[in-house]
Amino acid sequence: MNVHDSEKVVGTLMARGYTQVESPADARLVLYNTCSIRDKAEQKVFNRLQQFKRDAGRGKIFGVLGCVAQQEGEKIFDRAPHVSLVCGSASYTRLGEMLVQIEAGERRVTGLSLDTDETFDTPFTRRDNPHRAYITIIEGCDKSCAYCVVPFTRGPERSRTSESVVAEARRLAEQGYSEIQLLGQNVNSYRDPSPAGWNFAALLARVAEVPGIRRVRYTTSHPRDFGQDIVEAMDANPVLCDHVHLPVQSGSSRMLAAMDRLYTRDDYMRRIEWLKTAKRRYSITTDIIVGFPGETEEDFEQTLGLLDEVEYDSLFSFKYSPRPNTAALAMDDKIPDQEKQRRLVIVQEKQRAIQMRRNAEWIGRTVEALVEGRNQAMEQWIGRTSDNRTLNFTHPDGNGDSLIGRYVPIRVTRSGPNSLVGESATVV
Ligand code: 5AD
Ligand code: SF4
């Protein structure tokens, strides 16, 4: 989501005559897009800004964008006095005007309103990848998970009209993009604000029908709003990729209630069942938080049990990190960092073994990969499968001709915990 926000910012500025340079050292204007989901991400911003402090005297202008900007607001000027612009994501459409103010000599300019009337249609987006494009379909979050800062930094939920989403997908297909990724903090809570009133499953089906689009992905889904109609839409059209990211956070219903996740372990497992009994084989990935306040050894064991039961294809795991404004800040029974670390390692080791096993099941099969890059040192191409696995492979056309952006059949020959290795399955 942040990557796509940066693409929008770059596009908007380029349309106003700015040019992008190779490195911050060459820039007169340096904008940091930031994340505040966990404390570590936030610390990184201030460390980076510190490194650039010297340059401020040399006529460089510094701005902080994104969630740390939204969360810390004008306090950023105190911590990093060389910053002259602080702007949250809901105010990006005003970025151009704000820069005019700075050019006119103003020292400190802010854009911190969470006004929801802003339009989604950012006409100028400079996409980094020539084959895969992101489209934001819903912004913000109306849930209130006890650990999460997002509702405070991204504001309330607002969906974009289905007409505008489909029009953007068509435009992208005409420009040669073949993969689209629909984005939203709760992408599947999408509700078309126009009279058509489509829900997420209906939107998915329509985007997948856009001529020229070969793959459609979406992230991130909230389990509570993940209806069976989404699985049915996916089953009906293989353009909708074989992958669902469904963050569970914990395997203990007691913890899920404390986190205010709005589902129990059983509710979650019902969704997993829909996916496992679907027409196609879907890869399922998740997010796990360990060490949420009050998490006992027994709660943690339940998370480990869930990992065995679901057998995720991949997961992201995090130590609980206290965030400003959130309900969990006031909760007792904090878990010491050392214990969080211990639990994190256990989760990661267990998952690694599961992935070794899951990935090995692919050996001998032929799968289609979208070629995304080249590893020159290894003399391999880097591809991605519909179910979101990285597949490194050799190919006879691969020496001079660039395969990047093509869809090629690859026979899987080896596997590791995080990727597959293969060779071209094309009959030469
Ligand atoms: N501490 C740790 N992990 C968090 N996440 C969100 N907020 C926190 C927090 N305060 C994780 C969740 C979410 C992912 C994007 O980040 O697992 O799904
Ligand atoms: Fe955060 Fe929960 Fe909203 Fe996801 S659903 S963005 S975890 S508050």
Q: What is the pLDDT of residues 86-122, one digit of tens each?
A: 999 888 888 999 999 998 989 999 999 887 565 556 6
Considering the chain, what is the average pLDDT of its residues? 93
The residue with tokens 């895969």 is 132
Q: Which atom of ligand 1 is nearest to the CA of 147?
A: 10
The Cα–Cα gap between 324 and 183 comes to: 25
Q: How confident is the model at residue 7 (pLDDT cuts 50, 70, 90)?
A: very high
Residue 369, CA distances (Å) to 15, 43, 55, 279 in order:
34, 37, 44, 21
Q: Cβ(219) to ligand 1 under 6 A?
A: no
Kindly give the distance from the C-alpha atom of residue 323 to the centroid of ligand 1, in angstroms, as a whole number.
10
Ligand nearest to the CA of 247: 1
> Would you call 347 helix, strand, or coil by DSSP?
helix
Q: Cβ(148) to ligand 2 under 6 A?
A: yes
Residue 308, CA distances (Å) to 14, 304, 358 in order:
49, 7, 12
Four-point Cα dihedral 125, 127, 133, 138, nearest 10: -40
Q: Cβ(152) to ligand 1 under 6 A?
A: no
Nearest to 252 by CA among 274, 268, 235: 268
Helix 228-236 / helix 200-208 crossing angle, nearest 10 deg: 10
Nearest to 188 by CA among 154, 213, 223, 162: 223
Q: Which atom of ligand 1 is nearest to the CA of 322?
A: 10
Q: Which two tokens stand for residue 425?
A: 């399955």
Name the closest-CA residue to atom 12, ligand 1: 287
What pLDDT, on the 0 to 100 scale, is given for residue 115?
72
- Evaluate if residue 428 carries a pLDDT over 60: no
* Upstream peptide bond of 390 is cis (omega within 30 degrees of 0): no
The residue-averaged pLDDT of 154-181 equals 95
Q: Could you tell me the end-to-end alpha-carbon distance of the chain, in angstroms, rounded to an integer?
A: 41
Residue 251, CA distances (Å) to 225, 259, 265, 296 in order:
18, 12, 6, 12
What pLDDT, on the 0 to 100 scale, is given for residue 25?
84
Secondary element (H or E) of residue 186? none
The Cα–Cα gap between 307 and 428 comes to: 42
What pLDDT, on the 0 to 100 scale, is given for residue 60?
86
Q: CB-hemisphere CA count at 13 Å for 161?
A: 8
Nearest to 354 by CA among 421, 413, 287, 417: 417
pTM of the model: 0.94
Name the closest-CA residue to atom 13, ligand 1: 287
The Cα–Cα gap between 355 and 415 comes to: 10
Cα of 199 vs its chain's centroid, Å: 21
Q: Which atom of ligand 2 is nearest to the CA of 144?
A: 8
Q: Which atom of ligand 2 is nearest to the CA of 149?
A: 1
Q: What is the pLDDT of residues 227-267, one digit of tens each?
A: 999 999 999 999 999 999 999 999 999 999 999 999 999 99
Q: What is the pLDDT of residues 318-345, one digit of tens each?
A: 999 999 999 999 999 999 999 999 999 9
Q: Cβ(214) to ligand 2 under 6 A?
A: no
Q: How confident is the model at residue 31 (pLDDT cuts 50, 70, 90)?
A: very high
Ligand nearest to the CA of 152: 2
What pLDDT, on the 0 to 100 scale, is given for residue 308?
98
The Cα–Cα gap between 276 and 295 comes to: 29
Q: What is the pLDDT of residues 65-85, one digit of tens each?
A: 999 999 999 999 999 999 999
